[in-house]
Amino acid sequence: MLFRMQEMMSKGLKASVKEELDVSDLFKGRSDVIQAGPLSVSLEVTGHDGYITVEGEMSADLELACSRCLEPTKEHTVIPFYEQFKPATSDTPGDEESDEEEDDEFVEVAGDKLDLKPYLEESLLLFMPFAPLCAKDCKGLCQVCGQNLNEHTCSCKNEKIDPRFAALKDLFKE
């Protein structure tokens, strides 16, 4: 997924990207992500005078641990992607102030080669479901014995104390 920026911009080239990206390495060591990907990428890359737009969509099948009961949960994530890239302006030393004022409409790319992969990966990480659930009414695990309460109820006395009331109880102690 490499593009030569100068050529694309000067000739106003267009390119379609349809690719499957292996993203399993991104989630190595994360216990909440059981399986991820591949990431299906479908993008249009267009060269304009002075900048390049990349627009489209990515999607991935994910297998995540339910945030309540930890059972594997399948999710299909669709991620819109829109980014504008332009060549980095050659900074003159001591010119840092104007740097900060630069609007962040554009992502600056050093050199002539635009590699989209890191931006796509970043976007996927950003759009990962935050608290996946196996079912909307997942009962979670018993906090005493660890039993998956979707499968069986346990005999623990689960006094369900609302955390707000728990805080009140503490207040009364004093």
- Applying CB under 5 A, the residues found at the interface with Zn ion are 66, 68-69, 134, 138, 142, 144-145, 147, 154, 156
Nearer to Zn ion, 79 or 154 (CB): 154
User: Least Å distance between CB 131 and Zn ion?
Assistant: 11
- Measured from the CB atom, the residue of 145 and 161 that comes closer to Zn ion is 145
Bridge partners (DSSP) listed for residue 46: 14, 53
The smaller minimum CB distance to Zn ion, of residues 80 and 146, is found at 146
Cα–Cα distance measured from residue 129 to residue 32, given in angstroms and rounded to the nearest whole number: 11
**Residue among 58 and 134 whose Cβ is closer to Zn ion:** 134
Minimum Å gap between C-beta 66 and Zn ion is 3
Q: Are 60 and 39 in contact (CB under 8 A)?
A: yes
The C-alpha atoms of residue 99 and residue 82 are separated, in whole angstroms, by 23
Q: Is the dihedral of CA 17, 63, 68, 149 positive or negative?
A: positive
Q: How far is the CB of 63 from Zn ion (least distance, A)?
A: 13
Nearer to Zn ion, 60 or 138 (CB): 138
Tokens coding 86: 């332009």
Cβ 119 to Zn ion shortest distance, Å? 33
Encoded tokens for 135: 């079912």
Question: Least distance to Zn ion from the beta carbon of 160, Å?
Answer: 12
Question: In this structure, which amino acid lies at residue 137?
Answer: D
CA 30 – CA 24 distance, rounded (Å): 11
